[in-house]
Structure 1
Amino acid sequence: MAVGVGSVVLPVAANAGEEDSALGAACRVADRSTVWWASGEVLLTNKGDRPVRDWTAEFDVSQGQVTLDNPWAYELRQDGKHVTIKPIADRADVAAGGNRPVKVGINPAGKGMPEITGCRVNGASGNGGDTGTTPAVPADSGSFAKDHTAVHLMWKPPAGGAEIVRYEVFQNGKQLKTVKDTMTDIERLAPATRYTFKVRAVRSDGRTTGFSKDIVLTTLAAPGQDKAKPVIPADLEATASGPYQAALRWRAATDDVAVTGYRIYRNGAKVQEADAKATSATVSGLTASTAHRFKVTAVDASGKESDPTREAQVTTTAAPDGTGTAAPGDFAATTAVKQDGGVTQHYLNLTWSVPQGVGQITTYQVHLNGKPAQTFMWGAGDPVLPVPTVKGSREVLVGSHPGSTYTVKIRARLGDGTWGAFSRELTVRTAG
């Protein structure tokens, strides 16, 4: 894959903690927000000389349900008014000396203008880059229930500071064991029971860090213990939260042992899952100006699935560009020349705005004179190119012929795997 204009080669990203002192966050509710639908932004700023890969941004919202514009790159959890955002895998590094805006939506349902407070990143106060004094803590890293009597806890080391010599593991508030590794099994637990664990680190100087966030796990049901499937979740509602998203709400289901999660279906096909405490979800990657049908089921500790809720239908709003599907906006094309030995090569420099709310976009296709000419991919290759989230740019080689006229347009492969609408088509002429 050729590296074009706008490509940035990054050094190896830092692990969590290596650049935390350089990482800051600022949160705000955007201008032109309303009491019915507000937009917000978490702006991560990295003043260090290395990119930061692992980060956790947090804030409190005065009211409303918070959603992500790009759920393929980030994981959002909302517990009451507290919101936590983390990157998925390696899709959202904060570049050295750069920043990363994370766009969110807030649905206050007409109850007043929402406010954002308590902005921070990696446990430290944000305030536009002030890292604060909150002590670093271990972070959950994929803990899970093994069976009906055991769970497996995993965590990441805390950021910076003195060498860590051991970890203390607490169960339901009482210290259970001490380990040297960043994982351990907890056994001899009761089946189908909810447990809360915390971990803190002990440094070489004897001081302890703060506690990790609660790691809440429910053991599986014992064989034969869970005899009934869950009761159907009640009162499913679906509302459009933009051209490409829908917000779902339902009442919690019940089970004879324990509900462990929910499954969300769109037009009859499962599209995502939610955890046991969830009573809402945002489904992204939808088509604008289109009716979508949703159902929700509950799942229990033995894997039994409830009957589905009644079907809720919602029609997404029209796309801003009027196409009905997400098209790259602000599309522009200019010409340029480069010398290749004794040959003058002509290029088109393309720029565009990345479609929002349709999942992570890593692939674009360029058409010249009505035919596919080149496909660009980000997030792959050597070096790995960072995926553009707001603005994209690339160059296209069109040959050594001066004074030639081309029509050019571009489209994106959306997060659900389908192609979006084309940008506007431009006519350009090479120099000469």
Structure 2
Amino acid sequence: MPGGDDADDGPPLSAPTGITAQAGSATSVHVMWNRPTGTAPVAGYEVYRGSVRVRKLAADRHMVDVTGLRPTSRYVFTVRARGTDGDLGPAGRAVTVTTPAAVAQDRSAPTRPSGLRGRADGGRAVSLSWGKASDDRGVVSYDVYQGTTKIHSVTGKETRALLTGLRPGTAYSFTVRARDAADHVSPPSTAVRITTSGAKDKDVERGTAPGDFRVTARRSDGAYYLDLTWTPPRTGGEVPAYQVFLDGKQATTVMWGEDAPKDAAKYSFYIGEDAGDRHRVKIRAQLPDGTWGAFSVERAVTTHS
């Protein structure tokens, strides 16, 4: 009967969110993602390099190291969820990464990262920072471990990481290891033990908010524009997108992708032609796991004649 079977199909699979790819060495890339936001059950994930499936993983896996790659090569990765019926959902956003050059006669592992520090950023996030490791050829990436399990990776230029999706009121132990282009891994840093707060609300924590947020109104060709400036939150990676809220409602999403600013950001948009209008503006950043961070401070601005 028409439509008779569709009602039993359940909700469709949506795409995995928060996909990132970080070169771990000259021949490997660490791919991470978050589960789809929909309610459809997920049986597993498939990771693709271009159009080629390179890994097939269980539903509880949200990261993988893809090995056997070429140095100084550009790769595009996508991830798709697989339903309990075996069907695949849509691909998440494609992410591009370039592996570094191989280094000849690199026989030494990096030194261990020093001075690992951390703080609970509320009930669901932890911020880590550490001192740079040294290597005879250069550090390519840092791997973050929870106990003995690798849970995160950042570029060798970063010495901090933001870990989200944690449980309130839970004790964690973290270490960091440095990795060079030849896949040599340092000894682990000293462990830092952190207990998240007992807060059970789902609000994202303060450390994920953009900083130094400013708004000014500008008149040009008979119309008004709002000029926004801010400092990206330090997440241990690029922030690919921001949501802009105007007078309490989402006005637009600013997408940067690979060209995301690291130290200072700015954006302008049309607001109207009327002088004397007062507006409230705030923004929030997309985090590495695909969720949205805390809001910046809210600024008020008036379009003057």
TM-score, structure 2 length as denominator? Answer: 0.43
Question: With CA pairs under 8 Å and 6+ residues apart, which has the higher RCO, 1 or 2?
Answer: 2
| TM-score (norm: length of structure 1) | 0.32
Bigger radius of gyration, 1 or 2?
1
